[in-house]
Structure 1
Amino acid sequence: MITFDQVSKIYRHNDTSITALDKVDLQIQPHEIFGVIGESGSGKSTLLRMINTLELPSQGQINIDGTNLMQLSDAQKRQSRKKIGMIFQQFNLLYNQTVNENIALPLRLNSAYDPQKVREVLEFVRLSDKGESYPKQLSGGEKQRVGIARALITQPEILLCDEPTSALDGQNAYDVLTLLQRINQTFGTTMVIVSHELNLIKQLCNRTAILENGKVLETIEIQKEQQQTQFSSYYERVRESLG
């Protein structure tokens, strides 16, 4: 379980303070697909970076499976990150390396290169024929699937997804959404999806937190067809309140 307990994050520059997160309380269950939705600047990415300890709270506490992230040493933080995969909006691929080399990068960094693992994860994301291709030869959807394969290669317990479909067109976005669902169903991976796209959250997530100006307005359970109208109308009210 991932737990946020009264978590705030304040950035200070000269005499200016910016509150990115304001007393956030969240509980994300094991194996859940949990969404965080909000407009740009609402604090979504900061929240995500807290989970993999790239950012630490200014106040409050974050626990993963009972471990207080604030109490970890630097070495323990690095070890914790090995259990967490990250999927980025703009893919973050190395364009001078092949698909195989991009996917194998986390293994090489840990001196654990295994070509069989690379082949298996390529097959899982349905890119078996693209191993020797370079990113510039791929479509946007294929690039994101390479990014997902790279995140999966270390068999993470948690997968953090930062706007995973916003750079993709309709069919490619649908293919990535379907792949993320299959990862959760196959491996039981806990996923945290941050997005401003309402349809992605409705189709993919079990629950979602609505974030505005660093505050959680509400956490809503999504029961697919039964609550789609309710959820849509609620978020429209949120959007109207934002002006």
Structure 2
Amino acid sequence: MITFEQVSKKYSHDGTEVTALDHVDLQIKEHELFGVIGESGSGKSTLLRMINTLEQPSQGKVKVEGIDVMQLNETEKRLNRKRIGMIFQQFNLLYNQTINENIGLPLRLNKSHDLAKVQEVLEFVRLSDKGNHYPRQLSGGEKQRVGIARALITQPEILLCDEPTSALDGQNAYDITELLRKINQTFGTTMVIVSHELNLIKQLCNRTAVLEKGKVLETIEIQNGQQQAQFGSYYERVRESLG
């Protein structure tokens, strides 16, 4: 469903050329829970932003359902983004708006606001009694549930998750992991989960790409116990570098 073909991304920073992605090849299947793991600066977020056309590759192609999304015009890119939901590490909520208003924002932007839809997704993320609250009244885990509900309101085919649990403690992180799994199982949503957290990727994903300095070192099937052990052994060095 999502394909990266020899994708590279280079920036100019203080007169120096920086390579964020280096000839990346990836294939993400429809309905898959796909992980991208690597330490800070490995290119994970850049890769994610390629999918919803917020970043333009320096070379190569990014295809969604066979369409090179970088060849779309601005109107087509906006339509394409409506099929793609985004979950952020720091929630990105509007603190002067209620939970109902935060979740309904994508519908208002599309001039299709529907309070019944807002209530439906609130119930799905188990926050049906919080609609008139403000974000400051919620815990970190609840804020992330609001962020997920907002992403779900447009019924996306693809959900991009940028470090979805790294701002949360153990139980809240586990609860969000299980909610993401439920979304995939209920709606068949294709998910790309970017993280530096080994446990999240091992618990949630079917496969993962291991990214280092913009290069995909390997793509690993996670269901197999022997390969899980291999994955853990490789990533020990990265975990140590993260402290």
TM-score, length of structure 1 as denominator length: 0.96
Q: Distance in 2 between matches of 1:79 and 1:12?
A: 30
Letter in 2 for 1:106: P
Structure 2 residue matching 1:128: 3-state secondary structure: coil
Structure 1 residue matching 2:194: 3-state secondary structure: strand
Structure 2: stretches of 5+ with no match in the other structure: none
C-alpha contact (below 8 Å) 1:88/1:162 kept by paired residues: yes
Q: Distance in 2 between matches of 1:240 and 1:158?
A: 32
C-alpha contact (below 8 Å) 2:21/2:215 kept by paired residues: yes
Q: Distance in 2 between matches of 1:204 and 1:106?
A: 27
* Aligned residue in 2 for 1:11: 11
Structure 2 residue matching 1:63: 3-state secondary structure: strand
1:183 aligns with 2:183: yes
Letter in 1 for 2:184: N
Task: Using the TM superposition, give the Cα deviation of residue 236 of structure 1 relative to its aligned residue in structure 2, in angstroms.
Answer: 2.1
Task: Using the TM superposition, give the Cα deviation of residue 238 of structure 1 relative to its aligned residue in structure 2, in angstroms.
Answer: 5.8
Letter in 2 for 1:124: F
1:85 aligns with 2:85: yes
Task: Using the TM superposition, give the Cα deviation of residue 241 of structure 1 relative to its aligned residue in structure 2, in angstroms.
Answer: 9.6
Tell me: CA distance 1:32–1:170, structure 2 relative to 1, closer, same or farther (3 Å).
same
* Aligned residue in 1 for 2:145: 145
* Aligned residue in 2 for 1:219: 219
Letter in 2 for 1:138: L
Tell me: CA distance 1:241–1:129, structure 2 relative to 1, closer, same or farther (3 Å).
closer
User: Displaced runs of 4+ in structure 1, greater than 3 A?
Assistant: 224-227, 237-242
Tell me: CA distance 1:142–1:72, structure 2 relative to 1, closer, same or farther (3 Å).
same
Tell me: CA distance 1:132–1:238, structure 2 relative to 1, closer, same or farther (3 Å).
closer
Task: Using the TM superposition, give the Cα deviation of residue 69 of structure 1 relative to its aligned residue in structure 2, in angstroms.
Answer: 1.1
* Aligned residue in 2 for 1:103: 103
C-alpha contact (below 8 Å) 1:98/1:133 kept by paired residues: yes
C-alpha contact (below 8 Å) 1:5/1:24 kept by paired residues: yes
Task: Using the TM superposition, give the Cα deviation of residue 230 of structure 1 relative to its aligned residue in structure 2, in angstroms.
Answer: 2.4
Task: Using the TM superposition, give the Cα deviation of residue 231 of structure 1 relative to its aligned residue in structure 2, in angstroms.
Answer: 1.7
C-alpha contact (below 8 Å) 1:202/1:224 kept by paired residues: no
Q: Distance in 2 between matches of 1:44 and 1:235?
A: 15
Q: Distance in 2 between matches of 1:103 and 1:53?
A: 23
Q: Distance in 2 between matches of 1:148 and 1:130?
A: 14
Task: Using the TM superposition, give the Cα deviation of residue 234 of structure 1 relative to its aligned residue in structure 2, in angstroms.
Answer: 2.2
Tell me: CA distance 1:166–1:110, structure 2 relative to 1, closer, same or farther (3 Å).
same
For residues 97-134 of structure 1, the C-alpha deviation after alignment (integer angstroms, 9 at most, x for no partner) is: 00000000000000000011000000000000000000
Structure 1 residue matching 2:129: 3-state secondary structure: helix
C-alpha contact (below 8 Å) 1:203/1:224 kept by paired residues: no
Task: Using the TM superposition, give the Cα deviation of residue 227 of structure 1 relative to its aligned residue in structure 2, in angstroms.
Answer: 3.7
Q: Distance in 1 between matches of 2:207 and 2:223?
A: 8
Q: Distance in 2 between matches of 1:156 and 1:104?
A: 14
* Aligned residue in 2 for 1:118: 118
Q: Distance in 2 between matches of 1:155 and 1:121?
A: 10
* Aligned residue in 2 for 1:192: 192
* Aligned residue in 2 for 1:134: 134
Letter in 2 for 1:58: S
% same residue: 80
Structure 2 residue matching 1:96: 3-state secondary structure: coil
* Aligned residue in 1 for 2:167: 167
Q: Distance in 2 between matches of 1:120 and 1:165?
A: 23
Letter in 1 for 2:50: M
TM-score, length of structure 2 as denominator length: 0.96
Letter in 1 for 2:2: I
Task: Using the TM superposition, give the Cα deviation of residue 12 of structure 1 relative to its aligned residue in structure 2, in angstroms.
Answer: 1.6
C-alpha contact (below 8 Å) 1:158/1:189 kept by paired residues: yes
Task: Using the TM superposition, give the Cα deviation of residue 70 of structure 1 relative to its aligned residue in structure 2, in angstroms.
Answer: 1.8
* Aligned residue in 1 for 2:65: 65
Structure 1: stretches of 5+ with no match in the other structure: none
Task: Using the TM superposition, give the Cα deviation of residue 228 of structure 1 relative to its aligned residue in structure 2, in angstroms.
Answer: 2.7
